[in-house]
Each structure stands twice: as structure tokens, then as C-alpha cells.
């Protein structure tokens, strides 16, 4: 992925959003263009210039492709400008005391070869490089923190509890399931293909797994696997799955609402019919976002790094090579094309 150098400037390939999207996103909603980028900061800048190495494809990015009205924790992308998202990058120049040339970082960056980052809050320096750098887009990045905080902090799990995870083979779900198994819980996951169901059972060690696309009665499917009900539901899907789960929750169950990918491409979100179960069963249902839990990131590293090194946690990535492959990789998330955490490799360190 060479770039033509002209003085202090380099060619800077970018992926821009052409216009706001309705319905399922298409590759043609994005465009790969060539810009230029100065690799030296202007005098007095407190930002950093980075070379992007890995970019993360995450389901929430679909929401940002739509015009988001009013106050919201998620802001819209701006048509004509590069997408932004989580990534791993190498610092080329720094005007900030917390970062120096050569540092590796993870956090929010742009979908381009080189970026000037001026908002440094949430950028984290990578200290442990004995694991693949791409892991900082996943198990050691935002998805890992989401899984850790959602399961341990939101769900307050106990050994022996019954845990159900939807979209269980994705970046977050595969981790939640393994955290639950390591704690001694009974774990069932749903996914959208035989390959993914096999992965849940054979690679990640789930007790059971099923293909939701083959189930005409989700309530019946859940009763098949949870005869005594569900203590913890890690919610990634929403819609009909959430409705079925509510009927199968146990008294004082907990639901961590991480995402609702079934709703992201709908012009009119589906309603949920069984919310009265929250009252009758005294269910605790919490929406949460990873950025409220940056304070537990050191705990995540303390727990997960040894698990990775000892082989107690498996992590599956789906890596697309080259910035040009980014639009297809991102769009593929919404049809379940990816197997594991979807990552785009821009450049090797």
C-alpha cells in the first residue's frame, strides 16, 4: 500500500460517505478517493498525525450513515468526508505530551491511510504488543470493553446461571459467551449460519447454539434450550428475538442491551409486545455504552491478556486487506457475511 511522497505531503487514500443512507447500505454509498496529507504538524498544534494500520467495522456505524436528529450519543457522518471509527494506528508526529513518535494507539480515527487527530480523549496507548495488534480493534478494544463491562458490570453474573447471547459469533458475543463459560454458567448463543453455530459450539465452547434463521418459533426454540428460563440475556439483535426472550426470562433476570442490529436498516423500527414481562418477572433491563466504562479498561487487560496467552479465550477475526476493501467489509456486516470480528488491514507496522 505504497504512497507517493511529494515533499512533506503523501497521497492519502480515503473512504468517504457519498450521501445519507436509507435501508440497507451498499458499497456504492461510499467512495474511495485520493487526497493528500502533511505528515508534520503545524507549529503549536496539540494533535497527533498517525498512520492507520487497522480499521474496525462495527454495526453501530450504520446508524451514523443516517441523519441523526437532536441530541444523541451517536452523531451522523458528514457526506463528502471520510468515515470515522475505531482503529489501531502508529504515531508519526505529536504535539501532545501523552504521545510520542512511534507510539501505537487505539481509539477513534478516520477511514484513510493517514489521519490528523485533534480530539485525543479516548485514545489509548498500546503497551502490550505480544498479541496481534488487530486485537485492539476487538478483544482488547471497544468490543472487548463492551463485552467485559456489559457482562460483569451490568449483568452481575453468578456461577451456574443460564445465559443467552444473540448475534453470539460477532465481535462482542463470542467474548461474552466465553466469559460466562469461564465463570461456570450454562451458555447458549444464536447466530445466522451453520458455520457460525459450529463455531459457537466447537471453538468458543458454548453449551448449545442455534441458527435463528431456521427457527419459525423463537419462543419454542428458547424453551427447548432453557427449560428453566434465562437469567441473563446479552442483547445484540432486538425485534422478534427480544420479544421471545422476554417470555423466557426468569424472575429477577438481567438484560444488558448492547445493540439491536435487526433494527438499524428499518425505516420504521419494530415494536416490542412483551414488555409487561419486565414488571411481572421484576426483570432489570439496562442499556449501556462502552464509553461509560473506560475506568474498567485496566481490569479488562488484567483479566483477558492472561486468558489469551494461556489459550483460555479464543478470538476469531475476519480480516479484509486494503482500504479499498473497507466498504464491502462494512456492508457485509448487515447481511452476516463476516465470520468473527470484521477488521480492515490498511498497513502493517
Specify the pTM. Answer: 0.92
> Phi then psi for 181, rounded to 5 degrees?
-65, -40
pLDDT tens for the chain, residues 1 to 349: 444 443 478 999 999 999 999 999 999 999 999 999 999 999 999 999 999 999 999 999 999 999 887 767 789 999 999 999 999 999 999 999 999 999 999 999 999 999 999 999 989 999 999 999 999 999 999 999 999 999 999 999 999 999 999 999 999 999 999 999 999 999 999 999 999 999 999 999 999 999 999 999 999 999 999 999 999 999 999 999 999 999 999 999 999 999 999 998 888 889 999 999 999 999 999 999 999 999 999 999 999 999 999 999 999 999 999 999 999 999 999 998 999 999 999 999 7
Residues 303, 322: Cα–Cα separation, whole Å: 32
The label of the residue with cell 428475538 reads 241
Helix axes 194-202, 173-182, angle to 10 degrees: 30
Q: What count of other Cβ atoms lies within 10 Å of the Cβ of residue 134? A: 21
Amino acid at each position: 500500500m505504497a504512497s507517493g511522497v511529494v515533499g512533506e505531503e503523501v497521497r492519502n487514500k480515503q473512504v468517504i460517505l457519498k450521501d445519507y443512507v436509507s435501508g440497507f447500505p451498499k458499497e456504492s454509498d461510499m467512495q474511495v478517493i485520493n487526497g493528500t496529507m502533511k505528515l508534520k504538524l503545524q507549529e503549536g498544534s496539540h494533535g497527533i498525525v498517525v498512520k492507520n494500520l487497522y480499521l474496525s467495522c462495527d454495526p453501530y456505524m450504520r446508524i451514523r450513515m443516517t441523519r441523526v436528529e437532536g441530541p444523541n450519543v451517536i452523531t451522523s457522518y458528514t457526506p463528502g468526508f471520510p468515515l470515522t471509527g475505531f482503529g489501531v494506528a502508529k504515531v508519526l508526529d505529536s504535539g501532545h505530551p501523552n504521545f510520542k513518535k512511534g507510539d501505537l494507539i487505539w481509539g477513534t480515527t478516520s477511514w484513510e491511510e493517514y489521519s490528523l487527530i485533534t480530539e485525543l480523549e479516548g485514545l489509548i496507548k498500546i503497551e502490550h504488543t505480544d498479541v496481534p495488534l488487530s486485537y485492539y480493534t476487538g478483544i482488547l478494544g471497544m468490543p472487548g470493553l463492551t463485552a467485559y463491562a456489559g457482562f460483569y458490570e451490568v449483568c452481575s453474573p453468578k456461577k451456574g446461571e443460564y445465559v443467552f447471547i444473540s448475534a453470539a459469533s460477532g465481535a462482542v458475543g463470542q467474548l461474552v459467551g466465553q466469559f460466562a463459560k469461564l465463570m461456570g454458567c450454562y451458555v447458549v448463543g444464536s447466530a445466522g449460519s451453520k458455520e457460525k453455530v459450529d463455531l459457537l459450539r466447537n471453538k468458543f465452547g458454548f453449551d448449545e447454539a442455534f441458527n435463528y434463521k431456521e427457527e419459525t418459533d423463537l419462543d419454542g426454540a428458547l424453551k427447548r434450550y432453557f427449560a428453566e428460563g434465562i437469567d441473563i440475556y446479552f442483547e445484540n439483535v432486538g425485534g422478534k428475538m427480544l420479544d421471545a426472550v422476554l417470555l423466557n426470562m426468569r424472575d429477577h433476570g438481567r438484560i444488558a442491551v448492547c445493540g439491536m442490529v435487526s433494527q438499524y436498516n428499518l425505516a420504521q423500527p419494530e415494536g416490542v409486545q412483551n414488555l409487561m414481562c419486565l414488571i411481572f418477572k421484576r426483570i432489570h433491563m439496562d442499556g449501556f455504552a462502552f464509553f461509560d466504562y473506560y475506568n474498567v479498561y485496566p481490569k479488562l487487560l488484567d483479566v483477558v491478556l492472561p486468558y489469551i496467552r494461556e489459550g483460555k479465550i479464543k478470538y476469531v477475526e475476519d480480516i479484509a486487506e486494503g482500504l479499498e476493501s473497507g466498504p464491502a467489509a462494512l456492508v457485509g456486516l448487515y447481511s452476516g457475511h463476516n465470520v468473527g470480528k470484521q477488521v480492515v488491514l490498511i498497513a502493517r507496522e
